[in-house]
Each structure stands twice: as structure tokens, then as C-alpha cells.
Amino acid sequence: MAGNSFGQLFRVTTFGESHGECIGVVIDGCPPRLEISESDIQKELDRRRPGQSKITSSRKEEDIVHIMSGVMGGKTLGTPIMLLVFNKDARAKDYLNLKNLYRPGHADYTYEAKYGIRDSSGGGRASARETLARVAAGAIAKKYLKEKLGIEFISFVEQVGDIKTDMDFNLVTVKDVESNIVRCPDQKIAEKMIRLIEKVKEEGDSLGGVIRGVIKNVPAGLGEPVFDKLPADLAKAMMSINAVKGFEIGSGFAGIKLRGSQNNDEFYTDEKGKIKTKTNHTGGVLGGISNGETIYFRVAVKSVSTIRKRQQTINKNGEAVTFEASGRHDPCVLPRVVPIVDAMAALVVMDHYLRTKAQNL
């Protein structure tokens, strides 16, 4: 496989480049008879698209989705679903002066090292524009899991630069996340984040941060032993997102400060006879399998590589070059990564739900 597909029973394959004709995805394995419409998918794409606020890229793409197959009369058929979005504001010519350069922080050199050729127009397949296909597919998975199991995905911006919220993620709602342009549910902290992003934007620079992923109402029993553990697949999903440099689940690295007597989550039975844990240091998984508690994790996102500052690099001939990037880029991509994290989490949970069902007929 060439690395363009993800999942086993709920399998997605994305295609298209940043400044090509279109971006799209083929979804194979979606159960039949799920009610789905283009508007259901569009809501998620609107959360990811560029140009949605003063702190995001000014590229003007409406990202209108078209369902090309697999749906009839508003219901899935069980056959492959193809979703397509045409690029409307592509400007390949803006990158002509960079085609012979290896931009710092970008995949120019590595793609050329692998393939011997690369799309120099905005990064091609390495561009974050590819992620709209994931969000489109994730919208279908989210809808199925919400209706079938009541599962909710509530990711949000927890930190930008050195500004961080300590808000309890268990109390955060989707409405809280969507209440401001930076997608941080803590309003006072969000204002500070926005001011910092605006300052960095004026300086022609960029910055990164952390996204908190939260998945509620996941049933116990999802995940495979050894190599396909649920957190292992979540880690792979998150690390496949552009600019992501770190992943931790549950207490994560902070857990090393806890002794076993502190870190172990003790079991009890609640008033309804349901098995629960008194704490949730594991992040909702044990042995790589969901235990019924809320799954939570953190995703570290680096600063955007394209900045309006003079940088040193080399060209294809190995000659030293000084250049300054131009174009339409996010000073901080965190707000737009939130729906991508939700989507990738949904793809993982959907795939594991179907795999568990298949094993327990």
C-alpha cells in the first residue's frame, strides 16, 4: 500500500493535491441505511475550511462537498462512497519561484528523495489541504457513532504557545468549543490566545500549541490486542495529521510522577450495576481496549512552517539561498486542526466498532 488509505473495515482512501483540480475521499465499509446528506458533511468541512476568521489563512475556499456515489435517497447503500471537493482558489503560480528550493520545515526535500519528483505547488499531497478529505469521511463516521451509540467527539484548543487553559475537559461542550474563533472553551484564555496569534501574525511568524481530544460514551470492548490497540491506532491517526509532533493518552507523561498505588484506577459498580472506575488515569483504555470511561488525549501541533521572515536554505544544486515566503498561510493552525482531530478519532472508533461487531457475531 502507498500510505493513502486508513482503516480496515471502515477504510478511507484520500486523493488530490493542494493546488490541483480537487480533493476527495473514497469510503469503503460504511454500513447501509445510514441517513446522510451533503449538508451533514458540509457542517464539518466549514469548521476546517480556510478563510473562516482573521487568525486563519485567507485562501477563499468554500469547500463545497459533492456525494458522487454510495448514497441514494439520502441513505447509504453499503457500497463505496465517494466525496469530492473542487478547488476554487488554487494558485499554483504563486509557488513557481520556490520549485527549485527546499523550504525549511516542509516536505520538499523528503518527497523528492522518495519519489524523485514532487508537486511544488503549495506542498501537493503534503499540504494540510488533504485533511479536508479526512474531515468529510469523519463526518459520516461521527454521525453513525452518535446515532448508534451516543458517542461524542469534543476536541478543543488547550494551549497556544505558552498560554494554556486548565478548564476541566469533562465539562466542555461542543457549544463551548465553537463559541470563539480559536476554539478554546475558556473565554478569558481564548482572548489571550487570539491576541498572541494576532501579534505573531503581524511579525510574520507562526506558533503551535496543544489540542485536547475527548471522546465520550465509548462502550467497553473496542480495540485489538497487541499491535492494533485502540490507543495505538489513535496515536497513528493523530501523528498522521500535518504538523503533529506528539501524542499522549490519559495521564501520559505526567503519569511517570505517580506511583502505582496512585495511578491505578480502582473498579466499582454504580447504582445501575454498571462497572466503572473511581479515577481515569488510563484515559479510558486498559490493555489497549476501551473500558467504558471517557477517552482523552493530547496532541502537540508545531508552528506552521511557512512564515514571512527571511530564511536560509539551499536549492537543488546545493547552493545557499536566502528566501522569504509569501502567500496565504495560517499564523497558527490549531483552530482548524480541531475538526481534523475529531474526524481522525471518529475514523478509528468507527473502524474498531465494526471490527468488534465482526468478531462477536
Q: pLDDT tens across 305-324, in order?
A: 888 888 999 999 999 998 87
Helix residue ranges, H only, 229-333: 230-239, 260-263
- Distance between CA atoms of residues 122 and 207, nearest Å: 19
Question: Smallest Cα–Cα separation from 157: which of 126, 194, 205?
Answer: 194
Sign of dihedral through CA atoms 218, 223, 229, 232?
negative
CA–CA separation, 278 vs 291, rounded Å? 12
pLDDT at residue 37, as a whole number: 97
Provide the pLDDT for residue 308. 85
pLDDT at 35: 98
Sign of CA dihedral 179, 185, 187, 193: negative
Give the pLDDT band of residue 91 (cuts 50, 70, 90): low
Per-chain mean pLDDT for the chain: 93
User: In 3-state terms, what secondary structure has residue 234?
Assistant: helix
Q: What percent of the chain has pLDDT over 90?
A: 78
Q: Evaluate if residue 81 carries a pLDDT over 80.
A: yes
From CA 34, how far away is CA 145, in angstroms rounded?
Answer: 11
pLDDT tens digits, one per residue of 276-297: 999 999 999 999 999 999 999 9
What pLDDT, on a 0 to 100 scale, did the predictor assign at position 200?
Answer: 94
Q: What are phi and psi of 261, to 5 degrees?
A: -65, -25
The torsion angles phi and psi of 126, rounded to 5 degrees, stand at -80, -10
Residue 2 has pLDDT above 90, yes or no: no
How much is the pLDDT for 98?
76
Condensed to tens digits (0 to 9), the pLDDT of residues 160-212 reads 999 999 999 999 999 999 999 999 999 999 999 999 999 999 999 999 999 99
> What's the rounded mean pLDDT across residues 320-341?
87
Judged against a pLDDT cut of 90, whether residue 100 lies above it is answered with: no
Whether the pLDDT of residue 1 is over 60: the answer is no
Measured CA to CA, the distance from residue 163 to residue 157 in angstroms comes to 11
**Mean pLDDT value across residues 21-44:** 97
* Nearest residue to 299 via CA among 195, 206, 176, 169: 169
Residue 62 clears pLDDT 90, i.e. is over it: no
In this predicted structure, what is the pLDDT of residue 95? Answer: 66
Q: How confident is the model at residue 152 (pLDDT cuts 50, 70, 90)?
A: very high
Average pLDDT over residues 64-93: 91
Across 53-67, average pLDDT: 82
At residue 144, does pLDDT exceed 90? yes
- Is the CB of residue 115 less than 8 Å from the CB of residue 61? no
Q: Please give the average per-residue pLDDT across 77-95, as a whole number.
A: 84
| Predicted confidence (pLDDT) at residue 43 exceeds the cutoff of 60 | yes
The pLDDT value recorded for residue 86 is: 94
Question: Measured between alpha carbons, how far is 285 from 230 in angstroms, rounded to an integer?
Answer: 8
Residue length of the chain: 361
pLDDT for residue 223 is more than 90: yes
Q: pLDDT tens digits for 106-142?
A: 898 998 999 998 887 767 788 889 999 999 999 999 9
Domain boundaries 5-359, corresponding CATH code: 3.60.150.10
Helices of type H across the chain: 38-48, 108-115, 131-149, 174-177, 187-202, 230-239, 260-263, 334-359
- Beta strand pairing call for 156-160 and 152-153: unpaired
Q: What pLDDT is recorded for position 327?
A: 61
Q: Is 92 helix (H, G, I), strand (E, B) or coil?
A: helix
Nearest to 31 by CA among 84, 75, 83, 82: 75
Chain centroid to CA 91: 25
Reply yes or no on whether the pLDDT at 94 is more than 90.
Answer: no
In the chain, where are the structural domains located? 5-359
